[in-house]
Structure 1
Amino acid sequence: EQARLRQKDWQRSPDFSGLERVGGVDLSFIKGDDINACAHLVVLTYPHMKVHIST
């Protein structure tokens, strides 16, 4: 999916000219446990994709 999206022209759109950071979050529940989970947040610089914040 990442490779496919990388080929799209939207990244060169003027709408993204001021974009400086992108982020993502993951939430994973422990197998067999519907209450406890692990969460992770990461914020990357754009377009260099260097880690800015990671929790």
Structure 2
Amino acid sequence: MRKKLTTCANCEQKFAEDFQFCPYCGQKSNEDLTLSVLFYNTISNYFSVDARFF
């Protein structure tokens, strides 16, 4: 039985589809883009403070 392979979006290496993270670079294998993810990213970008600010 052959395992299905997927390609990492970050390092473009092939690995088994059932892995949650790329074994080569650690990138999450299934990036789901939902409305809540977009909202969280937008809010965190506007209200984050850099450590060098102080």
What's the TM-score bracket when you normalise by the shorter of the two chains?
under 0.3
More strand by share: 1
Greater helix fraction, Structure 1 or Structure 2: 2
> For the pair shown, which has the larger CA radius of gyration, 1 or 2?
2
What TM-score comes out, normalization by structure 1 length?
0.19
* Bigger RCO (CA 8 Å, 6+ sep): 1
Please, what TM-score do these two structures have when normalized by structure 2? 0.19
